[in-house]
Structure 1
Amino acid sequence: MYALPTAIAVTDPDLVLPSPDRHTPSAAVLQSAVRSPRTYSLDQALTETHTLVEHHGYVIALCPSSAPAPVVRRLHAVRSVLESDRIAIVRSDLPPLGLAVLALQLRQLSVCDFSPGVLASAARLLSHYIYAGALLGSVARLDRGRIDVTLESHAKSWLPGSQFAALATPSPELVKVTGGGEEAELAAPGFATRLLYAPGRLAPDWVTGTLAPAWKAQDVTEARLPAESERWWATGRLVEFAAAIPDISVLYQLVSSVRRDDCHWCGLELIGDRCAFCAAPLPPPGERPAQPTRTLVPASHRLRPAAGPVSAPDTTALPRGAT
């Protein structure tokens, strides 16, 4: 049995937000992803990951979809050489600050009574409740595969003083926020959130003075801008922001409300349609067991949020693909 919570690992130290309380563990920063293979050997990477597995039992490694190919190859090489089914490599399309928020939420939930398989597959569910975006001084070089930039927006971005509000998740959106008397309106969360913002080379006034009240954010907190943000948003003239559920009781109820199944390949519990550890898809509904039967991590080794009424997001109408 493993007394320590499942380890949440990240590929960049900028993805580690401060713990909100004494119960929330920090994230492990994978030096094998941060440092060059020329200065951090495969043997060192193997030792690092093996130590995490031995201490925590299971490791969930969050890796951005935008990570360089060598980083991804190194992560998979380490998992392959260790021949370990206790390492989940979870890729995410979230921008840097949004991914840092997701890592924090998983860290909060790691001390609850969720099994490693449920915790890892919860990353996909929770991502649909993170509103991540940025105030941008230019969209001229923004990746159109992430957010659709119209020809008109592209042309306007060259005008002095132009600013745009971009939402990457849960649904891509782009609006102009300055000039012509136009009002910017981004789709607002339908639940209570905490708004984090990280200024680059733009003033955060629009984010703190317009966006936060419009989104009815319960708390507005400044964070450090991740170094990767300028590359992700293709400009240094930005203020990145992310609004998400801060209450661990609500997060717990959200994940708990989703049906659990056993992976037919590795046996771990999961939510959704694919195991985060072995990547095996869930069998068709007619082939699934009526009730989940496995609990790999006993509740006696976890902290559970205090009982009481909470207002959780409606899980009966999750975004397509959320579960």
Structure 2
Amino acid sequence: MTSADLVLPPTDQQTPTAALLQAPEAQVLELAIGDMHLLLEQHGHVIALYSSGIRPEHERRLHSIRSVLESDRIALVKVDLPPLGIAVLVRQLRQLSVCDFSPGVVASAARLLSHYIHAGALLNSVAKLDRVPVGLKSHAKSWVPGSHFAVVAGPEPQLVKVGPAAEPPAGPRFRTHLLVARGPLQSNWVQETLAPAWKVHAVHEGAVPADSPRWWGTGKLVEFAAYLPDISLLYQLVASVRREKCHWCAMELIGDRCAFCSAPLTAPLAAPETRRATTGVLQLEAGNRPGP
């Protein structure tokens, strides 16, 4: 991980922790290369999951380390989720890492599992929000004192002005837990309105990641993420997708692209794999959702 506050507490004794890949200003390149080499020696493969909103110099550092080591055992996985959603995804991959999946499958599972994380925030303003489409009317309402906005970044962007008659954003259609990180914004709307509307089975409290104010464009927020808490269901989701072998580096993968070398599947294999993965998503949401 690229930030220590994105490493959530484990859910059980089997879930391993995550290693921190520090920013350039926090560690010189030589030490960063040494740390990565040690991780490869200890674990065989490294999956570096990071946000698409990471600072450019930090992302360049990750690519430089992989280039210097000339290693095909380092997967750099960029994810377009807000910070709290990434923290949830990291913990899910940590859970899957002790299952009988190969490193290539675990790394490429990040894209699949991100579709099952409903990540958003309650904001006091969307005037500086550039991660989710914001209309001119919403920008204008941001200047009204006391305005609050419920924004969902993924899996589908949504923006709702919070009010007595307003419906909450559409949520997951399967059983989830809700992780809530309260910032300086004084509101219980997420716990009292959103959680019941989304029919979450448990609410957990966490700390606001350091990068959240920059990602959301304001520090006055309450960030939240609904997710699948059951490792057995996560395992079934990943195991249900057909596995392929990368034609370039021979790593095992699911989806349409290798997470280790970024090579796409060849054309004859890409279409069936895409259909298989999409079918799995629809089945969970419409018919195979877990019971209460």
- TM-score using structure 1 length: 0.83
Structure 1 segment 17-32 matched on structure 2, within 5 A: 17-31=8-22
Out of 124, 128, 131, which is 2:115 matched to?
128
1:198 aligned counterpart, secondary structure:
strand
1:253 correspondence with 2:236: yes
One-letter code aligned to 2:251: L
Secondary structure class of the residue paired with 2:181: strand
- Paired position in structure 2 for 1:157: 142
Provide Cα deviations, 1:126-153, integer angstroms capped at 9, x if missing partner. Answer: 000000000000011111xx21111111
CA contact (8 A) 1:133 1:241 kept: yes
Q: Aligned residue for 1:303?
A: none
SS in 1 for 2:261: coil
Aligned-pair CA distance for 1:182: 2.7
Describe the shift of the 1:61–1:17 C-alpha distance in structure 2 as closer, same or farther (beyond 3 A): same
On the 8 A contact 1:88/1:278 being kept in 2, the answer is: yes
Tell me how far apart the structure 1 counterparts of residues 283 and 263 of structure 2 sit (CA, whole Å). 22
- Report if aligned partners of 2:256, 2:270 keep a CA contact under 8 Å in 1: no
Identical-pair percentage: 61
Q: In 2, Cα distance between the equivalents of 1:123 and 1:265?
A: 20
Question: Counterparts of 2:199 and 2:186 in 1: how far apart (Å)?
Answer: 20
Shift of 1:77: 0.5
Q: Offset at 1:316?
A: 5.2
Secondary structure, counterpart of 1:202 in structure 2: coil
Correspondent of 1:73 among 57, 60, 63: 60
Counterparts of 1:287 and 1:95 in 2: how far apart (Å)?
28
Residue 273 (structure 2) pairs with residue 317 (structure 1): no
Go from structure 1 to structure 2 and tell me whether the alpha carbon gap of 1:318 and 1:90 turns closer, same or farther (over 3 Å shift).
Answer: farther
Contact 1:142 1:233 (C-alpha < 8 Å) held by counterparts: yes
Work out the CA distance in 1 between the residues paired with 2:45 and 2:81: 23
Amino acid at match of 1:57: G
1:214-293 alignment, distance < 5 Å: 214-285=197-268
CA contact (8 A) 1:85 1:278 kept: yes
Alpha-carbon displacement from aligned partner over 1:149-170 (angstroms, at most 9, x marks no partner): 1111111111111000000000
The alpha-carbon deviation at position 287 of structure 1 amounts to 9.3
Native 8 Å contact 1:130 1:244 kept in 2: yes
Residue equivalent to 2:72: 85
- Aligned-pair CA distance for 1:289: 12
Are the counterparts in 2 of residues 176 and 182 from structure 1 also a CA contact under 8 Å? no
2:172 corresponds to which of 178, 189, 214: 189
**Equivalent residues of 1:131, 1:243 under 8 A apart:** yes
Matched position secondary structure for 2:8: coil
Counterpart pick for 2:155 among 143, 164, 170: 170
Cα RMSD (Å): 2.0
Question: Which 5+ residue runs of structure 2 have no aligned equivalent?
Answer: 285-292
Distance in 2, Cα, partners of 1:265 & 1:318: 32
> Aligned residue for 1:206?
189
Mapped partners of 1:204, 1:162: distance in 2:
11
Unmatched 5+ stretches in structure 1: 1-9, 291-312
Q: Which amino acid aligns with 2:249?
A: C
Q: Partner of 2:42: helix, strand, or coil?
A: helix
Q: Deviations over 1:224-253 (max 9, x none)?
A: 000100010011111000000000000000
1: CA distance, partners of 2:175 / 2:114: 15
Q: Which amino acid aligns with 1:28?
A: A
In structure 2, do the counterparts of structure 1 residues 199 and 216 end up closer, same or farther at CA, with 3 Å as the change threshold?
Answer: same
Corresponding position: 1:142 with 2:129:
yes
- Structure 1 residue 55 and structure 2 residue 20: aligned? no
Structure 1 moving runs of 4+ over 3 Å: 286-290
CA distance in 1, matches of 2:270, 2:86: 34
Aligned residues: 280
1:42 to 29, 44, 47: 29
Aligned residue for 2:39, secondary structure, equals helix
**Equivalent residue runs for 1:284-303 within 5 Å:** 284-285=267-268
Q: Which moved more, 1:281-290 or 1:79-88?
A: 281-290
Higher helix share goes to which structure? 2
SS at match of 1:174: strand
